[in-house]
Amino acid sequence: MSGSGPLLSLRLLGSATLACLVLLASGPAGAQSISSLTKQQQNAEQLRRDLQEKIAQVQKRIDESESDRKDVTESLRQSETEISRLNARLDDLDSQRDKTERELDDLRQEQAAQQGLMEQRRQELAEQLKSQYTHGVSPWAALLSGDDAQKIGRDLTYLSYVTKARTQAVEALNTEIARLDAVKKKVADHRKTLQKLADDAEKSKADLEQEKQKHAAVLARVEEDLKARRSQAGKLARDDKRLNALIDDIQGSIVKQREAIRRAAIEREAREAARRKALQQAREQA
């Protein structure tokens, strides 16, 4: 983008143009000679060429500023679009994190329930083993009791099944709790991943917000520059219009002067012809 230096020189040119217009327009045109008017016309035309060159320079810089404005506006639009995309991304990540938190809460509750059930099964197994030990429920104690051997066998088999079932239940609960631990860890890892993605998105958004502010500041400067250049172009165009009018006036004065000179010459020739004719007549009458 261009600096403010050319504008200063253009302002100076505008002041010089106005001064020249005043000088060129001073004095009645009819009182000036053709050579003087011609010199004024040449000076005015040179000034007009310089002025039109400056107008072209200003217009070129206006075109450049408009191109800059277009580029900056597009960059600003892209930043806003990317920020909108990141906002949508953050909303999606927030939803995923909320869902993950709910999953973790459900897993914690399920794990707590499983642990409670496991403690209950362990307690039942411990009480059964304690009862068997306290009441002497063992193969040797049963044989020494003198009870029916078949009944003793059935009781021992039943107790064995019950003990085995409770032991398997405890083992199954341990396995389920271990599985829940693994799932919970996986979900927690996913939550960390989501948090990192959200942090990265927030950082990118912050960077884009800064970039957007910079684009907006540049756009404001370009708009201000365009306003100044267009104002200068308008002033130069008005000077050019006045200068053209002055050149037309000078040209008109030159034409009038030449016409006046031509008529004066014709009148002189007519008077001279009349004088010669009168002399001729006088000689003829003498």
CA 15 – CA 2 distance, rounded (Å): 22
* pLDDT at position 142: 44
Q: Which residues contact residue 117 at a Cβ distance below 8 angstroms, ignoring those fewer than 6 apart? A: 173
- Helix-strand-coil split of the chain, %, nearest 5: 95, 0, 5
> Position of tokens 């999953």?
103
The answer to whether the beta carbons of residues 58 and 236 sit under 8 Å apart is yes
What pLDDT tens digit does each residue of the chain (286 aa) get?
A: 444 433 333 344 454 555 555 455 554 445 578 888 889 889 999 999 999 999 999 999 999 999 999 999 999 999 999 999 999 999 999 898 888 888 888 888 888 887 887 788 778 767 766 665 565 544 434 444 444 445 445 555 655 666 677 678 778 878 888 888 888 888 889 889 989 989 998 999 999 999 999 999 999 999 999 999 999 999 999 999 999 999 999 999 999 989 988 999 999 999 998 888 888 888 888 6
* pLDDT at position 131: 65
* pLDDT at position 184: 85
* pLDDT at position 114: 79
Structure token pair of residue 52: 């039109």
Which CATH architecture is the domain 5-285 placed in? Answer: Orthogonal Bundle (1.10)
Q: Is the dihedral of CA 128, 130, 131, 133 positive or negative?
A: positive
> Position of tokens 């991943």?
193
